[in-house]
């Protein structure tokens, strides 16, 4: 019988007696990791954390991060994954909105000191009463070593584990919304395991597979498509704290990686290295590209660079807990480049028109998905939940597709304004809200434009405030970088005296995009 909670899935895997995580020179077995997760769970219980309490978790891809995740999951606590690229604006909103009581964090990353930041930040989020760091932290905070020091109380731990239900929230995974307000997709134990199992079954994943663990764990690509799919199939994961093309290639070679999942930008960077041909990549049995379509030239370059490893597409979103559409294993290269794939597992897909009616094959409409992978809604946002999580279990993805007679889905565009910059979803309104707070900016309008490396980048048109010296692109970049995650910072700025408007007085973004496409240098 398949496990129905994340904690039960880990306990089942522990009985396999094989490697789970490769971390540098260290290897952690499923059994060793299961024991570490129990110690984290016991430590959280001792600090007053239990079923339903929210725990903010910020760090790189490490065994300790995963132990904190599974330890919280084991007792029914809800993890709020936070990206190390987040800064004050994102962290304040997500911790306040989720009602997090505890934050477990890395001390620092190369360009930011999180221990110092949270020390001075505590008054901003008074609901967070406990800080635990993977390092020394600040005066008065706890450490991960302290959290895991005490042996578990078997009776208390067993009672907490037994109380966790498959329908309980496992993650509140924040993704920016078109209104500029990040929305927390409430992913349950059942939904994340449903997506992971469907992916593992589709690709025939097994105990012999080694997955490359470089996608961030605060994203479904890292936690579901990598960690949870390895868990349910018994595969192991070669961990990288964060993606780097050289580190990824060396890890593939060293650990004999068989499953390479990445966004197209990562493949571009790996293939572009001068020493790419020096690496032995013969262990890779399949490559998977998610986040955006793989254009034909890149698809061909991946096939040449990873000989013997067919390329497949993956489509999923936070609201589907991970993958829900994958390329069939017998798809030819042209079909993989042209389509997203087909719905997987026992999930369902349909394409609907503006009136909600189901459209026939070949017609373009909104992709909707139904099945065990669908998240439970948006945390504490009933109105937004009702717009996306529809009656009868259907999820409105916001992506415009056409379904071919055989079930392949062809992406036509995005229903709203989101663009994908380097594999990360970016919504212009969030950046516009930051830009218009600048004292020199009256209006701001952003669009996604094509880019050879990142797929798309943000191009923002800025109208200066009257009577002010117009801001420079460098000034606007610095302003955004102080307030936003770096992948949201626009790559292009156009300072202009006016932007086109619709008859009702809204900025005419479609016309902005048309003008750019017809004259990219403008």
- Would you place residue 293 in the very low, low, confident or very high pLDDT band (cuts 50, 70, 90)? low
Using DSSP, state whether 448 is helix, strand or coil: strand
Per residue in 122-141, pLDDT (tens digit) is 888 999 999 999 999 999 99
Say how far apart CA 79 and CA 217 lie, in whole Å: 11
Rounded (10°) angle between helices 30-46 and 6-14: 140
Q: How confident is the model at residue 522 (pLDDT cuts 50, 70, 90)?
A: low
* Angle 13-15-20 from CA coordinates, rounded to 5°: 45
CA 230/CA 53 separation, integer angstroms: 27
Give the pair of three-digit tokens for residue 162: 């037994």
Residue 222, H or E segment? helix 220-222
155 Cβ partners below 8 Å, 6+ apart?
A: none
The hierarchical CATH code for the domain 419-518 is: 3.30.300.30
Kindly report the pTM of this predicted structure. Answer: 0.84
- 362, 367, 370, 375 alpha-carbon torsion, rounded to 10°: 160
Q: How much of the chain exceeds pLDDT 90, in percent?
A: 74
Using CA atoms of 5, 7, 8, 10 in order, give the dihedral in degrees to the nearest 10: 120
Q: What is the mean pLDDT of residues 2-23?
A: 91
6-164: which CATH architecture?
3-Layer(aba) Sandwich (3.40)
CB 237 within 8 A of CB 21: yes
Q: Where are the domains of the chain?
A: 6-164, 191-414, 419-518
User: Tokens for 228?
Assistant: 């949870």
Residue 376 Cα distances to 55, 127, 167, 170, 228, angstroms: 18, 24, 8, 10, 18
pLDDT range class, residue 357, cuts 50, 70, 90: very high
Asked: is 191-414 a CATH 3.40.50.12780 domain? The reply is yes
Which of 280-294, 297-311, 399-413, 500-514 has the least mean pLDDT? 500-514
Domains 6-164 and 191-414 belong to one CATH topology: yes
pLDDT confidence band for 212 (50 / 70 / 90): very high
């Amino acid at each position: 019988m398949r496990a129905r909670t994340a904690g039960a899935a880990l306990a089942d895997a522990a009985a396999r007696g094989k490697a789970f995580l490769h971390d540098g020179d260290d290897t952690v077995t499923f059994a060793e990791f299961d024991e570490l997760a129990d110690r984290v769970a016991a430590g959280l219980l001792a600090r007053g954390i239990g079923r339903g309490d929210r725990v903010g978790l910020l760090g790189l891809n490490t065994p300790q991060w995963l132990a904190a995740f599974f330890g919280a999951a084991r007792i029914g606590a809800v993890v709020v994954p936070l990206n190390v690229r987040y800064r004050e604006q994102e962290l304040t909103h997500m911790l306040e909105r989720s009602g997090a009581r505890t934050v477990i964090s890395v001390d620092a990353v190369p360009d930011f000191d999180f221990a110092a930041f949270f020390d001075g930040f505590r008054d901003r989020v008074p609901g967070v009463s406990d800080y635990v760091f993977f390092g020394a932290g600040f005066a008065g905070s706890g450490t991960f070593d302290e959290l895991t020091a005490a042996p578990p109380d078997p009776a208390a731990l067993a009672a907490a584990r037994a109380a966790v239900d498959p329908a309980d929230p496992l993650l509140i995974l924040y993704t920016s919304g078109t209104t500029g307000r990040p929305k927390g997709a409430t992913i349950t134990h059942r939904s994340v395991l449903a997506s992971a199992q469907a992916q593992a079954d589709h690709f025939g994943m097994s105990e012999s597979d080694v997955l490359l663990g470089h996608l961030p764990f605060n994203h479904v690509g890292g936690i579901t498509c990598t960690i949870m799919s390895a868990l349910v199939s018994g595969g192991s994961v070669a961990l990288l704290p964060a993606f780097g093309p050289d580190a990824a290639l060396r890890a593939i070679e060293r650990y004999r990686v068989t499953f390479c999942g990445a966004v197209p930008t990562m493949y571009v960077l790996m293939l572009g290295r001068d020493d790419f041909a020096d690496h032995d990549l013969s262990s890779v049995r399949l490559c998977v590209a998610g986040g955006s379509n793989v254009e034909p030239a890149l698809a061909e370059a991946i096939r040449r660079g990873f000989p013997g490893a067919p390329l497949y597409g993956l489509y999923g979103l936070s609201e589907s807990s991970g993958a829900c559409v994958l390329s069939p294993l017998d798809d030819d290269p042209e079909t993989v480049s042209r389509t997203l794939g087909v719905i997987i597992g026992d999930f369902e897909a349909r394409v609907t028109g503006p009136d909600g009616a189901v459209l026939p094959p070949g017609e373009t409409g909104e992709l909707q998905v139904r099945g065990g992978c669908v998240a439970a809604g948006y945390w504490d946002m009933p109105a937004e939940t009702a717009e996306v999580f529809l009656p009868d279990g259907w999820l409105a993805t916001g992506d415009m597709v056409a379904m071919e007679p055989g079930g392949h889905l062809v992406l036509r565009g995005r229903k709203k304004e989101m663009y994908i910059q380097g594999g990360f979803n970016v919504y212009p309104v969030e950046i516009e809200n930051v830009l218009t707070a600048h004292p020199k900016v009256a209006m701001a309008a952003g669009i996604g434009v094509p880019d050879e490396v990142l797929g798309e980048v943000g191009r923002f048109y800025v109208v200066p405030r009257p009577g002010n010296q117009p801001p420079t692109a460098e000034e606007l970049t610095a302003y955004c970088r102080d307030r936003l995650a770096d992948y949201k910072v626009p790559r292009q700025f156009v300072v202009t005296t006016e932007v086109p408007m619709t008859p009702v007085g809204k900025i005419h973004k479609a016309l902005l995009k048309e003008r750019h496409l017809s004259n990219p240098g403008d």
